[in-house]
Amino acid sequence: MQTTSYSHPLFCFSCRTKLYCRNISTNGKSKGSVKFRAPYPSQLGRKCGFNGRPRVYISPSPIKPNRLYVLHNTGDNHPSAFSVDDEMNTNHAPNGMSPTFLSNWSPPRYLWRGLSVLILAGQVVVKTLKGKIHWRNTLQQLERVGPKSVGVCLLTSAFVGMAFTIQFVREFTRLGLNRSVGGVLALAFSRELSPVVTAIVVAGRIGSAFAAELGTMQVSEQTDTLRVLGSDPVDYLVTPRVLATCIALPLLTLLCFTLGMASSALLADGVYGLSINIIMDSAQRALRSWDIISAMIKSQVFGAIISIVSCAWGVTTLGGAKGVGESTTSAVVISLVGIFIADFALSYVFFQGAGDQLKNCV
């Protein structure tokens, strides 16, 4: 028998428990009422007895609240009925059990995304220690992060170095501290400027690309396809990007430091008449090997922050193209904030007792 559901039932049968008079309900029992009602009497046949006004029948025993809906059947012109319990449990909790306080609570998106960063970082460390590395993808990502990002990083570092030279040379020349200019520039570039500037450029260029690529793969279910084919997305997608960024960023930082010092020396010699030999000698006296090592350590930490945050934001993308755009923007912002926080923490640990290296430059 085929049935067709109308938007309105032909008539409704409802039962509910009802208290009448005080003298009847004093024995603690309640009587029930059964009400037959036809919302649309014109749709009923002549043989149906419910096409009049609603009728109420008294039942001597309590009746469980429920509803009986009758719909028109286009197959054999006989109505079909179904019953619905008014007290049906709709909160997905077991019968007889009240829902818990946090049963309908879901964690905010930023919370589980932050936890996904920690989980993904742990998975990358475990995969690397076990040797589960896709070397071909790692080399491809290394070429992308390293050689293809050198031009932007060197250009940015050169102009930052010249801008700092303009600020320092004039002030130090008026104070008669020409021999300290090179040492100040060398310490500023090695400890702070080169690692941070390089990380910012890589976060804008590489981090956004990582988040956009993995986000697109996530919303188009390509990561699920990898799992079906037996490949772990962490091994194939995340670990190569993290390793490539951690390896390439220290090398980029070293190149940026060299070019920044060179551009500063050329500007000081050509514009302000301060000899290149004086600047280089001052920088050599002020620098220590720990300054370069600390810059390399900072760069590796910044590279890990950029790659892990970008990959985590990519694999947790929701909502199609709009979600990909939001994940990309959010990944870059969170990466920059993480870079600045990590820079403060590492600088406090590495250089808390420093402060006498410029004495050799005076």
Instruction: Report the predicted TM-score, pTM, of the whole model to 2 decimal places.
Output: 0.68
DSSP character for 316? Answer: T
Buried b (16+ CB within 10 A) or exposed e, 248-261: bbbbbbbbbbebbb
Closest CA to 155 of 189, 120, 106, 201: 201
Cα first-last separation, the chain: 102
pLDDT digits (tens), the chain, 362 positions: 433 333 344 444 444 433 333 333 334 444 444 444 444 454 444 444 444 454 444 545 555 555 655 555 555 555 665 555 555 544 444 544 555 666 667 777 778 788 888 999 999 999 899 888 888 999 999 999 988 999 999 999 999 989 888 888 888 878 877 788 888 888 889 989 999 999 999 999 999 999 999 999 988 888 888 888 888 888 889 999 999 999 999 999 999 999 999 999 899 888 888 888 888 888 888 888 888 999 999 999 999 999 999 999 998 888 888 889 999 999 999 999 999 999 999 999 988 766 666 666 66
Distance CA 283, CA 287 (A): 6
How far is it, in rounded angstroms, from Cα 33 to Cα 19? 9
φ and ψ at 69, to 5 degrees? -105, 135
For position 179, what pLDDT does the model report? 81
Phi-psi region of 72 (alpha: psi -120 to 50; beta: other; left: phi over 0): beta
Under 8 Å between Cβ of 259 and 161: yes
Residues 6+ apart with CB under 8 A from 42: none
Q: In the prediction, which pLDDT does 5 show?
A: 38
Strand order in the sheet with 80-85: 55-59, 31-37, 11-18, 66-71, 80-85
Q: By the 8 A CB rule, do 193 and 233 touch? A: no
The residue among 58, 18, 64, 68 whose CA lies nearest residue 38 is 68
